[in-house]
């Protein structure tokens, strides 16, 4: 039976820069996927593109690609699929093309997938009746429209498959569903039909299991002490057959662990209804999935099923929502928790006396159970705690005034204040998340080759 090996070497922008190279070198892959995007990432990239029309993509990818060129020479059939294009797939492709050409890889075609960015059409779409109602509150987007900085539909696997069928060796996308990076090569290699819901469901399970990188290979595992050499954790591979049955594994001689626990924990990660995991390609049913450990660090996955996809795309929208700052101090010595809480109260009392009222504020004593309040309680009076004080407000000036009240505690607060050498906390703009839906018929994905 024909098989295809798909490995994911990146779970987010900021993930281990060495992982893609190690995976490509020792994973015996047909496809290397690299997943960079989160909701907040898109708003950051949108602002970068506003400042520089040639920016707006995940720049880490270019560093990784440069280091991958020896592997691409050694493995002429290895293909790369990544959403590193972010808000600007074309600019990313231009840079990638230059790297490949410089390395003598001129024969490798690059394709971009775009059409997910709805910002240029947002007002027209609203005028046409697309309300982009908030999935949590039901409010129409018009309530925050002047503050919107990005709006991206989660595209599916179809345009990536179109690119592969045009013999692209590398596909750079904007916002697509994470699992679709894996669904696409499976659809292409096995020539499954777009209404073959069970196979689409299986490929989606595979994509979901490997999309977060080392989370499936021992990262965040409840029994983490049983995952040897996590510093050298291998990144996951989905070895799939034409029947939709696949194995999750990792390269030999790498750390971490793959077993029923690590795989099932990732299977249920960020899942609302396990019986209806919604993607642009299919509604996948995780409740029918069977996990079997066939050998050390190999889990067989079968039984996945799917149902027809919905007629809408999820849209990730970000909008400006004020300013925030967060500062920390260490309080050491007897009654550290009591002293820390006093310091937090002193900060806000002094801000109040300066005539500033902050919309939101939070005092935490890390080490005293505040990180997960009501879940883990301190068992004794700790000898030291970290005081973390955070605020948010629509006024930047109000937040800046707050940041000036940490340093005075060094000499005017209780004894034991330390850890204050980093200066005043930075004021950052807040980007709030607005989840919505849009009819698929309103979105046109585009695939373009860059020779």
Does 140 fall in a domain?
A: no
Cβ burial, residue 422 (10 Å; 0-12/13-18/19+): exposed
329, 306: one domain: no
Print burial letters for 95-104: b (CB count within 10 Å at least 16), e (below 16): bbbebbeebe
**Per residue in 213-265, pLDDT tens?**
999 999 999 999 999 999 999 999 999 999 999 999 999 999 999 999 999 99
Print burial letters for 208-246: b (CB count within 10 Å at least 16), e (below 16): bbbbbbbbbbbbebeeeeebeebeebbbbbbbbbeebbb
32, 104: one domain: yes
Other CB atoms within 10 A of residue 156 CB: 26
Does pLDDT of 435 surpass 80? yes
Query: Of 310, 344, 373, which marks where a domain is finished?
Result: 310
Does 315 fall in a domain?
A: no
Does pLDDT of 451 surpass 80? no
Query: Of 251, 282, 310, which marks where a domain is finished?
Result: 310
The per-residue pLDDT for 40 is 81
Does 148 fall in a domain?
A: no
Does 439 fall in a domain?
A: no
Q: What is the DSSP secondary-structure string of 95-157?
A: HHHHHHHHTT-TT--EEEEE--B-GGGHHHHHHTT-----TTT---GGGTGGGEEEEEE-B-S
Q: 303: number of CA atoms within 13 Å, CB side?
A: 10
295, 403: one domain: no
Residue 381 maps to which CATH number?
A: 3.30.70.1130
Cα dist from 224 to 81, 186, 217, 218, 229, whole Å: 30, 31, 10, 7, 10
380, 405: one domain: yes
**Per residue in 105-140, pLDDT tens?**
999 999 999 999 999 999 999 999 999 999 999 999
The per-residue pLDDT for 38 is 87
pLDDT-based confidence at residue 290 (cuts at 50, 70, 90): very high
243, 332: one domain: no
DSSP 413: S
Does pLDDT of 421 surpass 80? no
Query: Of 288, 310, 332, which marks where a domain is finished?
Result: 310
The per-residue pLDDT for 148 is 96
The per-residue pLDDT for 330 is 96
Does 47 fall in a domain?
A: yes
Give the pair of three-digit tokens for residue 166. 């045009």
Taking alpha carbons only, the member of 378, 389, 390 closest to residue 413 is: 389
175, 230: one domain: yes
CA–CA gap between residue 425 and residue 235 (Å, rounded): 36
Does 298 fall in a domain?
A: yes
Least confident of 44-48, 52-56, 321-325: 44-48
279, 377: one domain: no
Phi then psi for residue 55, to 5 deg, are -105, -170
Percent of the chain beyond pLDDT 90? 93
354, 400: one domain: yes
* Residue 226 structural domain: 3-116+154-310
277, 377: one domain: no
Does 87 fall in a domain?
A: yes
Q: What is the Cα Rg of the chain in Å? A: 24
**Per residue in 323-379, pLDDT tens?**
999 999 999 999 999 999 999 999 999 999 999 999 999 999 999 999 888 887 777
Q: How many domains does the chain have?
A: 2
């Amino acid at each position: 039976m024909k098989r295809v090996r798909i490995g994911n070497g990146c779970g987010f922008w900021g993930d281990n820069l060495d992982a893609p190279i190690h995976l490509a070198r020792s994973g015996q892959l047909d496809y290397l996927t690299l997943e960079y995007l989160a909701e907040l990432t898109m708003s950051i990239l949108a602002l970068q593109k506003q400042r520089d029309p040639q920016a707006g993509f995940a720049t880490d990818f270019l560093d990784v690609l440069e280091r991958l060129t020896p592997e691409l020479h050694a493995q002429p059939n290895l293909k790369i699929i990544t959403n590193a294009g972010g808000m600007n797939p074309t600019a990313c492709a231009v840079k990638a093309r230059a790297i490949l050409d410089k390395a003598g890889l001129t024969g490798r075609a690059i394709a971009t997938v775009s059409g997910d960015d709805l910002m240029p059409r947002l007002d027209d779409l609203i005028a046409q009746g697309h309300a982009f109602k908030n999935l949590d509150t039901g409010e129409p987007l018009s309530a925050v429209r002047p503050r919107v900085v990005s709006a991206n539909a989660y595209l599916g696997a179809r345009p990536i498959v179109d690119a592969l069928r045009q013999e692209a060796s590398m596909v750079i996308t904007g916002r697509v569903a994470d699992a679709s990076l894996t669904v696409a090569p499976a659809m292409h290699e096995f020539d499954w039909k777009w209404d073959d819901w069970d196979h689409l469901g299986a490929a989606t399970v595979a994509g979901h299991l490997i999309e977060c990188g080392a989370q499936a290979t021992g990262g965040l595992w409840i029994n983490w002490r049983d995952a040897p050499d996590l510093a050298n954790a291998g990144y996951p591979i989905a070895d799939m057959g034409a029947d939709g049955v696949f194995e999750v594994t990792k390269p030999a001689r790498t750390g971490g662990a793959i077993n029923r626990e690590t795989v099932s924990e990732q299977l249920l990660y960020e899942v609302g209804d396990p019986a209806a995991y919604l993607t642009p390609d299919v509604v996948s049913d995780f409740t029918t999935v069977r996990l079997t450990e066939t050998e050390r660090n190999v889990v067989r996955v079968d039984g996945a099923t799917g149902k027809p996809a919905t007629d809408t795309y999820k849209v990730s929208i970000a909008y400006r929502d004020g300013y925030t700052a967060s500062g920390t101090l260490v309080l050491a010595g007897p009654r550290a928790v009591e002293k820390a809480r006093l310091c937090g109260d002193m900060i806000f009392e002094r801000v109040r006396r300066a005539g500033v009222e902050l919309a939101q504020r939070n005092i935490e004593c890390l080490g005293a159970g505040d990180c997960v309040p009501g879940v883990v309680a301190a068992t004794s009076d700790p000898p030291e705690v970290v005081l973390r004080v955070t605020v948010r407000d629509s006024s930047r000036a109000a937040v800046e005034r707050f940041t000036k009240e940490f340093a005075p505690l060094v000499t005017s607060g209780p004894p034991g204040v330390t850890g204050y050498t980093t200066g005043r906390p930075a004021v950052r703009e807040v980007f709030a998340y607005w989840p919505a839906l849009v009819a698929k018929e309103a979105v046109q994905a585009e695939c373009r080759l860059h020779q």
